[in-house]
Chains A and B, each alone.
Chain A
């Protein structure tokens, strides 16, 4: 019962957000939650800086978002990548099954299905400038960078493990950290 209520509120909220964000999607079968999460992902990149190296300065190379595990976005991210640029480059979505295939990603979304392998994955990505994002409780505590969660009121928020973000070489704007819940 409560769950439906939460969902409903999230729906209302996301519809409001959609009015702000250009309505790219005509299809109503798309999940509003993951629509919102993809929007958030894009916004987060605006307030995050990847380290300046020779790789980064080549803007012909695409901005890569990799998804490991079962993909909950169901093509939403793919759609977004076709219509938007992130950090002034083309966006590429990859679906990987192991960390060996990680390079050259900028963001790694770890699906809930990979919940048990999380520590191993995070270990493999330790101190690498790849933003790790998930939506599983405790992800940030375990060392993940960003973790989405939905409040009791049904609004989408995220937690940030600031220390881990800094350790990875990524720089996050104060204002982004400011609106998120900080996890140690």
Chain B
């Protein structure tokens, strides 16, 4: 079987078809040939037997009335058949009654039989037929004929064999032509995969043409390519995120560290000079810097945790979450004199309490931070149906976000306004939480000075599960 491994599919199919054809044709023809040998022999025996019976019948009265000369005369008529070499008539006591030997042929010694019998001896046929009249046995006639049985059989064989070869050749031609039906799609797929792997271009797709197992192969092949493509994209995104992450961490951690180191240097001098007041001030600055580093690291930890840990989801009134979040950002809201309006009749939501609260905390904080110069900064929180879904929103009348950056705001550490404090992780965290809850988040804003509305959905996982079942 190892020999066949390298053989192309094309040739494998042709080989299979040919071997099936060869087997069936060969078998069929062999059986026919064997049968025809029988038929040929039977034909010869029948015609010789006919001659024997007729001749024998003519000899009945010669036998009965004992006129061997007359019988010999009748036998001599066998001369008309050149294939009959000898003809003998025996009486009812199996004694030779009359004989005929063709010119040049010698008389033969043969056993006498009373019943019909025949035997082939190469091309010679020995035949015995009883002679009887009205049930009474009068004698036996024996004929020896030179048949062409061997020649006839060989001729038949040659004809059959040539026919068989012809049919096999025809099968070969048809097999080669029609194997394309099977091998074509397979070879095409192999070609496409070779192309894809050599060029590295995963956007190629193979065109399905049939609905059979090969069609399934095509479908699976294409969906695998889809998966590869999306994974590639995801991988690129993750890599980009990782790069930003690494950059930010090193960058954002560096500055407080520089601060710390700087102030430590100053401290050394102040300790030497005994300036305790200045030292206290500087120590505070160091502590501040350390706090900043800690905050950054905490947020990073938070982000990494979101994807993995999630508490038991429960049904919660949205209003409650808003109230909790409000408390957490109270400081900033008061600082900026932001009015918070909460829409009435807020629905229930199903999810992780802490995380959902975090969404609102971050959104409120963000909106407050990016109010800009506003006479009456206001944040509205509510919900609005959108088709089958329920969309929650946090709307502000702050500085707004240019449509160009609507996607970027959710990117980790990608702060649009570097002057405003914060790590730039807030919205990324929010997005993560929403995604973990299988929801969507986006921002609507007409641009600078026109305020922004952050919208998100938290679908009820329970309904989804029921629908799935």
- Identify the A interface with B (CB < 8 A): 13, 16-17, 20, 40, 43, 46-47, 155, 173, 175-176, 178-179
Contact = CB atoms under 8 A, between A and B. Distances in A.
B67 A179 contact: yes
B61 A176 contact: yes
What secondary structure prevails in chain A residues at the interface with B? Answer: helix
Interface in B209-267: none
B70 to A, nearest CB: 6
Nearest to A40: B65
Contact of B65 (A16, A43, A173): A43
B91 interface: yes
Given A13-B66, A17-B66, A175-B61, 16 more contacts: A16-B66, A20-B91, A20-B92, A20-B93, A40-B65, A43-B65, A46-B134, A47-B64, A173-B61, A175-B57, A175-B58, A175-B60, A178-B61, A179-B61, A179-B67, A179-B70
Contacts of B64: 43, 46-47
Contacts of A43: 64-65
Contacts of A46: 64, 133-134, 136
Leading 10 A-B pairs by shortest Cβ distance: A175-B61, A179-B61, A175-B60, A43-B64, A17-B66, A176-B61, A179-B70, A179-B67, A179-B65, A179-B62
5 contacts: A13-B66, A43-B65, A46-B134, A46-B136, A179-B62
Contacts, number: 31
A130 B270 CA distance: 178
Of B61, B92, B133, most A-chain CB atoms within 10 Å: B61
A163 B35 CA distance: 53
Contacts of B57: 175
Nearest to A158: B65
A13 B91 CA distance: 16
Contacts of B65: 40, 43, 179
Contacts of B93: 20
> Contact residue range for chain B?
10 to 19
B140 to A, nearest CB: 15
Contacts of A175: 57-58, 60-61, 133
B92 to A, nearest CB: 7
Interface string B57-92: 110111011110010000000000000000000011
Nearest to B71: A179
A40 B57 CA distance: 19
Nearest to B62: A179
Contacts of B67: 155, 179
A43 B93 CA distance: 18
A133 to B, nearest CB: 15
Interface in B40-66: 57-58, 60-62, 64-66
A40 B67 CA distance: 12
A145 B66 CA distance: 21
B60 A20 contact: no
Contacts of B91: 20
A128 B306 CA distance: 137
A18 B70 CA distance: 20
A124 B269 CA distance: 186
A153 B216 CA distance: 104
Interface string B392-411: 00000000000000000000
A40 B64 CA distance: 9
Nearest to B70: A179
B95 to A, nearest CB: 9
Interface in B289-330: none
Contacts of B58: 175, 178
Nearest to A175: B61
Contact of B66 (A20, A173, A176, A178): A20
A146 B186 CA distance: 98
Of A17, A175, A176, most B-chain CB atoms within 10 Å: A175
A42 B67 CA distance: 16
A40 B66 CA distance: 10
